């Protein structure tokens, strides 16, 4: 049932009460949802309100607008999840195009275009109406890989659906960085970065997860790009192989997987003040009774593939990413030129001191000569 809003009227809008324009809608293509903001005063001027703006013919509460009068001018806001089954009737179309903006690392990739329309709902009964029909179109484009692999921008959590004997439920995987071995102090990375060789402690943890499963990391690697395709990357560990500087603390033993590594930099960023990169962990859930099997590595057993999901007792993979890690490249470099500069500065300082002392001695000798001459006279 549609109910009229009485929070704002034409009088409240003042000079903002006008005919609608094409620029009245603002679209924000977010990492987990699409946000729409429609200026509400032109809507009220035309004879509607936020409750009469219908998103893709969906009347359920989750897809309705909310009035935000804390901003000027006030707006009606919609929030559309990036989920094909809960996208409030949005249309998903896949096309091939080159990546742009924050997705410029991608070239000639498939792009998913998510679009829809907000229409006005006219309550007028009868044959005619004097209210104009309002239509607000929106559209956002995302790389297909982004939506499929759950590789999110600046987002370190992934919601997953698990089904066991007790039914289906949603669990959330989180990747967090810590600065201590007890995993109690979240790592705060300053603008100038952390020093090289600083230990970075990583925890991938599941919440709302049934006790039947443990967290198992298949592979963790670092890449220069938020979205790792076509980007330089470095493996911290892969199945049955761990980098010499990576220390695994626990993996497949509980609902948390933990490891740490010393902070490094990418050589291709050597001319930059800081080196910036991101961690990506390919994660599975394994049943408690079978986790030990998947952790074993021997000549008699085929190494597990990071994309092999056919084995019993283990779920498919999920990729989660960390916030950006910044290391201070300049502060940790050897600086032989600085040492020589200090030696040169020391030599210059010594020369100046000797010069001043010689000048004082010369003045003293001159004064002594003058006194001696006067005494003789």
pLDDT beyond 90 at 273: no
What six digits make up the tokens of 2? 């549609």
Please give the DSSP secondary-structure letter assigned to residue 103. G
Average pLDDT over residues 162-183: 76
Q: What is d(CA 258, CA 283) in angstroms, rounded to the nearest whole number?
A: 12
pLDDT-derived band at 162, boundaries 50, 70, 90 = low
Average pLDDT over residues 269-288: 85
Whether 204 and 323 map to the same domain: the answer is yes
Whether 127 and 173 map to the same domain: the answer is no
Whether 175 and 89 map to the same domain: the answer is no
Whether 207 and 59 map to the same domain: the answer is no
Residue 237 belongs to domain spanning: 169-296+314-328
b (16+ CB within 10 A) / e for 121-156: ebeeeeeeeeeeebebebebbbbebbbebbbbeebb
Whether 79 and 179 map to the same domain: the answer is no
- Residues 215 and 173: beta-carbon distance below 8 Å: yes
Mean confidence (pLDDT) of the chain: 76
CATH at 201: 2.60.40.4100
Whether 186 and 74 map to the same domain: the answer is no
For residue 178, tell me if it sits in a domain: yes
- Residues 132 and 122: beta-carbon distance below 8 Å: no
- Residues 64 and 79: beta-carbon distance below 8 Å: no
Is pLDDT larger for residue 317 or for residue 264?
264
What is the per-residue pLDDT for 155? 37
pLDDT, one tens digit per residue, over 25-78 is 999 987 778 999 999 999 999 889 999 999 999 988 889 999 998 999 999 999
Average pLDDT over residues 316-344: 63
For residue 18, tell me if it sits in a domain: yes
What is the per-residue pLDDT for 10? 86
Tally of domains in the chain: 2
Whether 118 and 256 map to the same domain: the answer is no
For residue 82, tell me if it sits in a domain: yes
Q: What is d(CA 369, CA 276) in angstroms, rounded to the nearest whole number?
A: 71
Whether 318 and 199 map to the same domain: the answer is yes
Whether 26 and 112 map to the same domain: the answer is yes
Whether 142 and 204 map to the same domain: the answer is no
For residue 161, tell me if it sits in a domain: no
Whether 38 and 173 map to the same domain: the answer is no
CATH at 139: 2.60.40.3210
pLDDT beyond 90 at 262: yes
């Amino acid at each position: 049932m549609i109910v009229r809003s009485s929070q704002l009227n034409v009088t409240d809008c003042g000079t903002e009460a006008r005919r609608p324009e094409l620029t009245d809608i603002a679209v924000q293509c977010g990492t987990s949802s699409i946000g729409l903001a429609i200026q509400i005063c032109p809507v009220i001027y035309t004879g509607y309100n936020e409750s009469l703006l219908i998103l893709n013919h969906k009347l359920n509460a989750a897809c309705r607008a909310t009035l935000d009068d804390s901003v000027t001018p006030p707006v009606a806001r919609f929030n559309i999840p990036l989920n094909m089954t809960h996208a409030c009737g949005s249309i998903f179309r896949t096309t091939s195009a080159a990546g742009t903006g924050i997705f410029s690392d991608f070239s000639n990739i498939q792009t998913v275009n998510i679009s829809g329309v907000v229409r006005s709902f006219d309550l007028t009964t009868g044959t005619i109406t004097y209210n104009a029909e309002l239509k607000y179109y929106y559209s956002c484009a995302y790389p297909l890989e982004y939506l499929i692999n759950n590789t999110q921008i600046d987002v370190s959590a992934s919601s997953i659906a698990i089904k066991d004997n007790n039914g289906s439920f949603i669990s959330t995987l989180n990747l967090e960085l810590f600065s201590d071995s007890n995993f109690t102090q979240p790592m705060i990375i300053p603008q100038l970065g952390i020093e090289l060789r600083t230990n970075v402690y990583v925890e991938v943890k599941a919440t709302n997860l049934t006790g039947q499963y443990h967290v198992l990391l298949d592979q963790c690697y670092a890449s220069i790009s938020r979205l790792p395709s076509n980007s330089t990357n470095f493996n911290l560990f892969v199945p049955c192989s761990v980098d010499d500087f990576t220390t695994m603390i626990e993996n497949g033993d509980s609902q948390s997987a933990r490891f740490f590594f010393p902070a490094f930099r990418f050589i291709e960023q050597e001319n930059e003040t800081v080196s910036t990169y991101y961690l990506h962990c390919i994660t599975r859930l394994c049943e408690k009774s079978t986790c030990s099997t998947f952790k074993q590595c021997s000549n008699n057993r085929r190494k597990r593939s990071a994309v092999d999901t056919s084995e019993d007792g283990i779920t498919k993979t999920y990729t989660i990413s960390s916030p950006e890690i910044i290391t201070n490249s300049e502060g940790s470099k050897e600086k032989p030129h600085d040492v020589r500069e200090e030696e040169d500065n020391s030599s210059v300082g010594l020369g100046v001191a000797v010069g001043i002392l010689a000048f004082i001695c010369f003045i003293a000798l001159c004064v002594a000569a003058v006194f001696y001459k006067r005494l003789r006279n």
